[in-house]
Amino acid sequence: MTLPSLYDWIGGADSLHELTKEFYQRVKTDDLLGPVFENMDEDHPSHVADFIGEVFGGPKLYSEKHGGHPGMIKHHLNRHLKEDQRRRWINLLLDSYTDLGLPNDPEFASAMIAYLEWGTRLAVVNSEPGAKVYENAPMPKWGWGETGGPYIPKQK
Q: What is the pLDDT of residues 19-65, one digit of tens each?
A: 999 999 999 999 999 999 999 899 999 999 999 999 999 999 999 99
Assess if residue 107 is contained within a domain. yes
Assess if residue 153 is contained within a domain. no
Q: What DSSP letter does each residue of 95-139 carry, written as one string?
A: HHHHHTT----HHHHHHHHHHHHHHHHHHHHHTSTT----TTPPP
Assess if residue 52 is contained within a domain. yes
What is the count of structural domains for the chain? 1
Assess if residue 150 is contained within a domain. no
What does the pLDDT read at residue 156?
47
Range of the domain at 60: 8-145
Assess if residue 13 is contained within a domain. yes
CATH code of the domain covering residue 41: 1.10.490.10
Assess if residue 141 is contained within a domain. yes
Is the torsion defined by CA of 84, 45, 55, 126 positive or negative?
Answer: negative
Assess if residue 2 is contained within a domain. no
Assess if residue 154 is contained within a domain. no
Task: Write the pLDDT tens digit of every residue in 101-131.
Answer: 999 899 999 999 999 999 999 999 999 999 9
